[in-house]
Chains A and B, each alone.
Chain A
Amino acid sequence: MRNSAGPAAALGALVVLGVGLGLALFWAPEDADQGFSQKIFYVHVPIALTAYACFGWGAWKALRLLWTRDGRYDLESYTAVHMGTIFGVLTLVTGSLWAKVSWGIWWSWSERQLVLFLVLFLFYSAYFMLRYSTDPGPRRANMSAVYALFGVVLIPVSFLAIRLAENFIHPVVFTRDGPQMAGSMFFVFCVCLAGMLLLAVALYQAELTGKRLDERLRELREALA
């Protein structure tokens, strides 16, 4: 089993993320308005983007499963969705922290990204409920794949809905200037993003390898029985 991708990604993640966070903390210029707290941006947004990437990857694997009817993709799709959900929770946590640090409140309905992730979190939690309450087999793999595809379509639709909803939800709007990114800020952001993506890849490979190992063990046990 080709396993070089995992450890390489893990090492890469460690290095790149380490560098990125270091740069974010010490090198990147402080934001004029928000001060030091703005630096959470270097963690929060890459995590959010990584979550999207994971959900997208999960949906791609789901599509492959439905197209080829090859059960191998089920585990890959599930693992990607799992990663996406973890990063999604982290997005909510870092976003909430940022809101607390910036405005003194733990939650804000005017934060579209945050609201979107709340909806996605609910959606993908239901994904796991679906999996846990269905017996393993082709049926479960198919249903999970279909649901994962629905999820990825839901992302833009929900975002649109949240934007439309702002008119009548009338949230108290806190303005936060989208970082007018100086070149240096953008560079640090990219490094952090790359680091997060590598982290996601590393975790994905780790979990996937572990699960495949479980499968293999089970097959061997049965063959011996």
Chain B
Amino acid sequence: MSGYLGDVAALARTSLLLELRSRDTVPAMVLFVVSALVVFRFSLPADASDLAALGLLWIAIVFTAILALTRAFVAEREGRVLDGLVLATADRSAIWLGKVVGVLAFLVLAELVALPAFALFFTPLGWETVAAVALANVGIAAVGTLLAAMAAASRARELLLPLLFLPLVIPIVVGGVGASVEPDPSRYLAFLGLYDLIFAILAWASFDYVVAE
């Protein structure tokens, strides 16, 4: 694979390789999401509806994602590797895309545990929820990775990421909960797809500006 996609693949492979070596992000995400679900179980009154529980699933996913995103550029910040990558890549958006692939992989791995756990603790999940989660992952990874790069450049770092991220994630939560809860999920899934398209393109085009000094 040559050119741009080859760069993306090489960078994505690097992210995954780093995680494989250090094994810190994904286990933390898994533990976090399961703990969160247990806490939610205790915070819901006994007669709470399935719908309320599904809402909480989405909260769990968003905050687990924030965990992953907070760590997204940590390896690059040590030793200022990001500067090296910025100099080396022909198109800097490849850095973003490679990172997005990595974040997506981490999200999927965490959700492979989270979704069955949810089904076990609360209520079984339908295909719509899984589809919504898959679509939401893309939006979360695309926007979150860009914002993570911005937060990494600031003094506030980890503190800043959730603040930047949460307002932008509201439409995703609406789409996700709607798809999980409403009798006709197609509108919400379509909305998630629209969000993904718009914001992924925007993030892809903007990354170059965010890493320039």
Contact = CB atoms under 8 A, between A and B. Distances in A.
Q: Do A and B come from one complex?
A: yes
A66 to B, nearest CB: 6
A34 interface: no
Nearest to B163: A126
A102 B179 CA distance: 34
Contact of A168 (B153, B178, B202): B178
B167 A119 contact: yes
Q: Is the interface of A mostly helix, strand, loop or mixed?
A: helix
Most chain A CB within 10 A, of B175, B181, B212, is at: B212
A11 interface: no
Given A153-B202, A161-B170, A168 B182 contact: yes
B126 to A, nearest CB: 15
Interface string A122-150: 11011001100111011100110111011
B120 to A, nearest CB: 24
A154 interface: yes
Interface residues of A, number: 33
B177 A161 contact: no
Nearest to B143: A150
Contacts of A105: none
A134 B154 contact: yes
A185 to B, nearest CB: 34
A133 B171 contact: no
Contact of B153 (A119, A134, A165): A134
Contacts of A137: 213
B188 A164 contact: yes
Interface in B172-190: 174-175, 177-178, 181-182, 187-188
B191 A164 contact: yes
B160 A133 contact: yes
A154 B194 CA distance: 12
A66 B160 CA distance: 23
B166 interface: yes
Contacts of A134: 153-155
The range of chain B's interface size is 35 or more
Most chain A CB within 10 A, of B146, B154, B175, B191, is at: B154
B170 A158 contact: yes
Given A154-B167, A164-B191, A149 B206 contact: yes
Contact of B168 (A66, A138, A139, A150): A150
B90 interface: no
B171 A161 contact: yes
A146 B209 contact: yes
Most chain B CB within 10 A, of A143, A157, A158, is at: A143
Nearest to A123: B167
A167 interface: yes
B206 A161 contact: no
A160 interface: yes
B202 A149 contact: yes
Given A161-B175, A167-B178, A130 B170 contact: no
A65 to B, nearest CB: 9
Given A126-B164, A153-B198, A164-B188, A158 B155 contact: no
Contacts of A147: 150, 164
A167 B179 CA distance: 11
B195 A157 contact: yes
12 contacts: A122-B166, A126-B160, A126-B167, A146-B210, A150-B143, A150-B206, A153-B202, A154-B167, A161-B171, A164-B175, A164-B188, A167-B182
